[in-house]
């Protein structure tokens, strides 16, 4: 049994839905389908979810919202017209939206219900379309499916019992179409996951039904071993472990909303990234374990926008609690850190610049000076991190040599290095303006 | 004005003291002399300080101590005889020891006073010997010199006012000989520094008198760039910064008691390591800053006996406070850590095995499992750390390449790597059985 999730671009218009229907028909194991709301049809297009958010904001600000509702309806109307489906769904959307807006619920709950209209309606459309093709298919609301979540509008967490409810879907003989992005609180209220939450639904459903495979259909043939905007036509990755995926997605790889993977990861369900527009392409499969590969490096990720707080103090390393106190100061300011490479008497804390404000920085530096009495404290800016990723790297002699040689060839100074035991990555910190040169040199070294 | 400190092997017998006197006469700037207690004359010999500790233990255990006292007296007697000095000093030692043992002080204070007898008596002997050579010299007790310390027997910390007192020594025209290793509490009690504390006295005195140079006479021509028991006839280091010294002394270089350097370091006094047995050798000078060198690597240090606690958890890096909580668990068990190299979802904490016991390890692992809910936690043993040290390394392209290439040539897998910004070292963690091969390969790479 496979769970197939189709993303926004895969369900953006009638033509895309025809591809989806044909993909579903191609493999009898594709029994549970999870869908996003219609995404962009062209680069300047607006996603249906964004249209619904605008509608909600207009309503809450007591501005006219009729035109915005009309635009949503037209978006769906163009799909149902092209697919020769009845107009009934359009009326349901209109009534549904008006019902939400004029309900007694809080604004937060109203907004959640509004946002979810895109996925919910698309699931109804796809189910009707499959039926019109003579395929036995049912739309299934997450409440009926038993997807229960915590009462946090816009940030739902799935409740454990949902998995048992979802397991019942294995008894179904027909194809089940479930809208992504939302579940229901125990009080019966619709609550959405965080943005990108259709991936979360897909992963939860795959875990619940104990799928053999969770297929995630998007608009790329595969995950590439390096950012294609830095290296032309890079190699495709055929297989990745969860850990590798996570290391890559951390620094510049945005194929996946990585929290979304947790349910599938915990239930050990393989995940396949595939292309709706080219379903014959192998795609990239994400698994918990894989055989050792001849090249232990699977990918090179990079990201800019890091800073480093450098603290030095003679005999720091004799001072029990120094590192802990430093991290406590950051934690008090709600600043999460990335790495803490250290010397004997100094420590650098690498932080995403977006986690820092000038005010926080000033307070942190003041407290470090006052509470830790360091010899020096300074902030280095405009840093980039490059991750060389691959399971099996930890047992391969000579990889650090190859990686550092690539930086040398590109004439790039390595500011920071970090690699722990049993790890699946090596981290290098460099000046941000050298990141593309470095990534290209590493790509040549490991993949050409 | 120079402060010269002579270590245990430099004052072990009459012949050595003759060398010391000649060194003092060679340079009129050597005005303040600090001495250790007589050390070993041959490899199986016993240091006077150890003899005194045995004496004290015998006394406290109500065992006969006469023979032990006799051995100490004979040690000094052989020196005074050979140097043709009066027997008066031997009587003073005997009376002094008996006075201490039968005083009203606590056992801790008695032991401190006993231990300090070696340095104190040697300073008197040297002063008398210099006078016998027609050199104007005075023995100066630390109390008269104004070296006041905190009331922690065996672990004294110098009080700030001592520096002002010591500055008065600049007014002296004669040579002043001060015993190392101890000071006096404000209550007038003799209190010793930690073991090796003559270096501390030397450094405090050099800072107090604002010496142009603090000369530390020992029994090696210089600091070597690598452990001479691993590499034959390694290159000598002519000049080192404090930071470099500290990084080297951390991992296997034991030239210096590194806490000892703090007073000199803070007062920015250059320190020179010289050989009493070969005073013409240049020695190694330790300074706060130095000119950039053609080879930015000054030394390679290594040490074994490390373990690594490895903790992994999916999405660890989103969990604010994870690293801090981990360090708190260690701090609660009084375990200081060395480095914390990390991946996105994992962190390794490197710890000296000597800081860990099986009981502590069990408690730490149990708490990590219970409080941090990790996916995995494991302990890796038998690790060695290798530090490649040098200021200026941080701005030299290609050094990491050279270092990792050396490991590759030696067919050694790098388990861990760590280098922070603005740092003076690169750390590599490897299996302990590979440490000598690695150090030799690094030496060839950077120094041959």
Tokens of A216: 């995630």
Distance between CA B445 and CA B405 in Å, rounded?
Answer: 9
Distance between CA A166 and CA A206 in Å, rounded?
Answer: 9
Mutate to test the interface with B, among A421, A438, A445 (most CBs of B within 10 A): A421
Considering the domain boundaries, does residue B350 fall inside one? yes
CB contact under 8 A, A422 and B396: no
- Given A202, A219, A236, the domain boundary residue is A219
Q: Which residues of B touch A414 (CB under 8 A)?
A: 400, 419
Task: Spell out the residues 6+ positions from residue A345 whose beta carbon is closer than 8 angstroms to its own.
Answer: A312, A313, A314, A315, A316, A317, B243, B246, B247
Touching check for B307 and chain A: CB below 8 Å?
no
Quick: pLDDT tens for B109-150. 999 999 999 999 999 999 999 999 999 999 999 999 999 999
CB interface of A with B, residues 400-419, below 8 Å: 400-401, 403-405, 407-408, 411-419
The count of domains in chain A is 2
Do B180 and B88 belong together in one domain?
Answer: yes
CB contact under 8 A, A413 and B425: no
Q: How many CB atoms lie within 10 A of CB B184?
A: 22
Mutate to test the interface with A, among B307, B403, B423, B431 (most CBs of A within 10 A): B423
Chain A residue at shortest CA distance from B260: A315
- Given B219, B234, B264, the domain boundary residue is B219
For A413-434, b/e burial (b = at least 16 CB within 10 A) is bbbbbbbbbbbbbbbbbbbbeb
- Whole-number pLDDT of residue A189: 97
Do B185 and B320 belong together in one domain?
Answer: no
CB neighbour class for A132 (10 Å; exposed up to 12, middle 13-18, buried from 19):
middle
Q: Kindly report the CATH number assigned to the domain that includes residue B180.
A: 3.40.1160.10
Do B313 and B198 belong together in one domain?
Answer: no
Chain B residue at shortest CA distance from A379: B421
A vs B: CB pairs below 8 A: 211
Do B168 and B21 belong together in one domain?
Answer: yes
Mean pLDDT of A265-284: 94
- Whole-number pLDDT of residue A262: 86
Q: Which residues of B touch A391 (CB under 8 A)?
A: none
Do A308 and A405 belong together in one domain?
Answer: yes
Residue B159 main-chain phi, psi, to 5 deg: -90, 145
Indicate if the pLDDT at residue A424 is higher than 80: yes
Quick: pLDDT tens for A104-117. 999 999 999 999 99
Do B126 and B29 belong together in one domain?
Answer: yes
Considering the domain boundaries, does residue A278 fall inside one? no
Distance between CA B339 and CA B336 in Å, rounded?
Answer: 10
CB neighbour class for B254 (10 Å; exposed up to 12, middle 13-18, buried from 19):
exposed
Mean pLDDT of A146-155: 95
Considering the domain boundaries, does residue A363 fall inside one? yes
- Tell me the ipTM for this assembly: 0.76
CA B50 to centroid of chain Cα atoms = 18
Indicate if the pLDDT at residue A447 is higher than 90: yes
- B275 vs A137, A293, B19, B220, B353, CA distance in Å? 91, 56, 10, 5, 34
CA distance A244 to chain B (A): 10
* Positions of chain B with pLDDT lower than 50, given as ranges: none
CB contact under 8 A, B420 and A341: yes
Do B304 and B201 belong together in one domain?
Answer: no
- Whole-number pLDDT of residue B232: 93
- Whole-number pLDDT of residue A255: 58
Q: Which of B246, B327, B344 has its CB closest to that of A324? A: B327
pLDDT tier at A47, thresholds 50, 70, 90: very high
Considering the domain boundaries, does residue B241 fall inside one? no
Distance between CA B187 and CA B193 in Å, rounded?
Answer: 17
- Given A187, A219, A251, the domain boundary residue is A219
Distance between CA A371 and CA A329 in Å, rounded?
Answer: 9
- Helix count (H) and strand count (E) of chain A? 15, 17
Q: Kindly report the CATH number assigned to the domain that includes residue B313.
A: 3.30.2130.10
Distance between CA B197 and CA A60 in Å, rounded?
Answer: 75
Do B196 and B303 belong together in one domain?
Answer: no
Helices (H), A102-238: 107-115, 117-132, 142-145, 161-167, 198-208
Do A108 and A199 belong together in one domain?
Answer: yes
Top pLDDT among A281 and B243 is at A281
Considering the domain boundaries, does residue B48 fall inside one? yes
Touching check for B135 and chain A: CB below 8 Å?
no
Mean pLDDT of A87-99: 94
Let me know: does A246 contact A36? Beta carbons within 8 Å: no
- Whole-number pLDDT of residue B242: 86
Indicate if the pLDDT at residue A6 is higher than 90: yes
Considering the domain boundaries, does residue B281 fall inside one? no
CB contact under 8 A, A341 and B419: yes
- Whole-number pLDDT of residue A57: 96
pLDDT tier at A251, thresholds 50, 70, 90: low
Considering the domain boundaries, does residue A255 fall inside one? no
User: How confident is the prediction for chain A on average, in pLDDT?
Assistant: 92
- B59 vs A258, A318, B71, CA distance in Å? 69, 34, 15
Residue A240 main-chain phi, psi, to 5 deg: -135, 150
Do B166 and B315 belong together in one domain?
Answer: no
Considering the domain boundaries, does residue A70 fall inside one? yes
Strand partners, A428: A386, A417
Touching check for A342 and chain B: CB below 8 Å?
yes
Do B28 and B168 belong together in one domain?
Answer: yes
Residue A343: domain span: 299-447
Mean pLDDT of A163-186: 97
Find the radius of gyration of the CA atoms of chain B. 25
Share of chain A above pLDDT 90, in %: 78
Indicate if the pLDDT at residue A293 is higher than 90: no
Do B179 and B314 belong together in one domain?
Answer: no
Let me know: does B280 contact B352? Beta carbons within 8 Å: no
Mean pLDDT of A264-280: 94
């Amino acid at each position: 049994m496979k769970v197939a999730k189709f993303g926004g671009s895969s369900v953006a218009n009638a033509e895309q839905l025809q591809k989806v229907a044909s993909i579903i028909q191609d493999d009898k194991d594709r029994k549970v389908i999870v869908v996003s709301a219609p995404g962009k049809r062209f680069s300047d297009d607006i996603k249906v979810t964004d249209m619904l958010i605008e509608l909600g904001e207009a309503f809450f600000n007591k501005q006219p919202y009729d035109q915005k509702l009309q635009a949503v309806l037209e978006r769906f109307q163009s799909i149902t017209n092209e697919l020769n489906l009845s107009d009934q769904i359009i009326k349901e959307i209109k009534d549904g939206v008006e019902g939400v807006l004029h309900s007694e619920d809080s604004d937060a709950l109203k907004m959640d219900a509004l946002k979810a209209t895109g996925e919910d309606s698309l699931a109804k459309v796809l189910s009707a379309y499959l039926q019109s093709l003579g395929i036995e298919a049912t739309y299934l609301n997450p409440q009926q499916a038993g997807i229960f979540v915590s009462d946090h509008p816009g940030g739902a967490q799935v409740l454990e019992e949902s998995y048992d409810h979802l397991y019942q879907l294995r008894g179904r003989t027909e194809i089940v179409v479930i809208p992504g992005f939302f579940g229901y609180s125990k009080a019966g209220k619709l609550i959405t996951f965080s943005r990108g939450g259709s991936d979360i639904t897909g992963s939860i459903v795959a875990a619940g039904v104990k799928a053999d495979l969770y297929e995630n259909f998007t608009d790329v043939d595969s995950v590439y071993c390096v950012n294609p905007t830095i290296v032309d036509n890079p190699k495709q990755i055929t297989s990745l472990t969860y850990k590798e995926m996570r290391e890559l997605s951390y620094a510049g790889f945005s194929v996946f909303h990585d929290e979304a993977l947790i349910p599938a990861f915990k239930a050990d369900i393989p995940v396949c990234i595939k292309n709706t527009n080219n379903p014959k392409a192998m795609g990239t499969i994400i698994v918990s374990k894989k055989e050792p590969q001849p090249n232990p490096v699977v990918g090179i990720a990079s990201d800019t926008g890091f800073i480093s707080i450098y603290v030095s103090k003679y005999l720091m390393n004799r001072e029990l609690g120094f590192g802990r106190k430093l991290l406590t100061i950051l934690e008090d300011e709600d600043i999460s850190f990335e790495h803490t490479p250290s010397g004997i008497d100094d420590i650098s804390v690498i932080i995403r610049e977006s986690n820092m404000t000038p005010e926080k920085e000033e307070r942190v530096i003041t407290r470090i000076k006052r509470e830790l009495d360091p010899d020096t404290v300074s902030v280095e800016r405009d840093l980039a991190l490059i991750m060389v990723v691959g399971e099996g790297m930890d047992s391969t002699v000579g990889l650090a040599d190859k990686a550092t040689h690539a930086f040398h060839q590109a004439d790039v100074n390595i500011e920071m290095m970090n690699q722990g035991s049993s790890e699946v990555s090596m981290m290098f910190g460099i000046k941000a303006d050298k990141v593309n040169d470095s990534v290209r040199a590493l790509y040549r070294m490991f993949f050409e």
